[in-house]
Amino acid sequence: MSGHETRFAKANETRALIWAYLVVSPGRTAHEIARGALGKRGPTSASIPDASGICQRMQRDGQLTSRREYRPQQGREVTVWYAVPGAFAVNNEGRRPA
């Protein structure tokens, strides 16, 4: 397997973990996704921007949707993410839906 194929397989695995996590636990922030789906720990985990970017790309590919919501415990609006039912099974190759 080439380096490109390995990176693609890892990215697809990460997307699958995020999508499956949001099917079971919808309405999560990028921080919650990084901790719950990707197993990252620590309040300043460097993976949080990665989770946010991956979620944004998955939204462009039709696998996730999001909305802004006020979270009193954070004292601000945050983006919460939701899985689009059945989308990952159809769009799991990193391509935009036709």
- Domain membership of residue 98 (yes or no) is no
What is the percent of the chain with per-residue pLDDT over 70, rounded to a whole number? 68
Closest to 49 measured CA to CA, from 34, 38, 69: 34
Residue 96 within any structural domain of the chain: no
What is the tally of structural domains in the chain? 1
Is there a domain that residue 36 lies in? yes
Measured distance CA(33)–CA(21) in Å, rounded: 8
Classify residue 97: in a domain, yes or no: no
71 located within any domain:
yes
Is 90 exceeded by the pLDDT of residue 66?
Answer: yes
Evaluate if pTM is beyond 0.85: no
Where is 97: in which H helix or E strand? none
pLDDT band of 97, cuts 50, 70, 90: very low
* 82 phi and psi angles, rounded to 5 deg: -135, 145
Q: Within 10 A of 69 (CB to CB), how many other CB atoms are there?
A: 11
Say if 83 falls within a structural domain.
yes
Specify the CATH number for the domain of residue 50. 1.10.10.10
Q: For every residue of 11-52, which 3-state class applies, written as one string?
A: HHHHHHHHHHHHHHCCCECHHHHHHHCCCCCCCCCCHHHHHH
Q: Which residues does 42 contact at the CB level (< 8 Å), separation at least 6?
A: none
70 occurs within a structural domain = yes
**pLDDT tens, residue by residue, 16-56:** 889 999 999 999 998 889 888 777 766 655 556 688 899 99
Q: Which domain holds residue 64?
A: 3-90
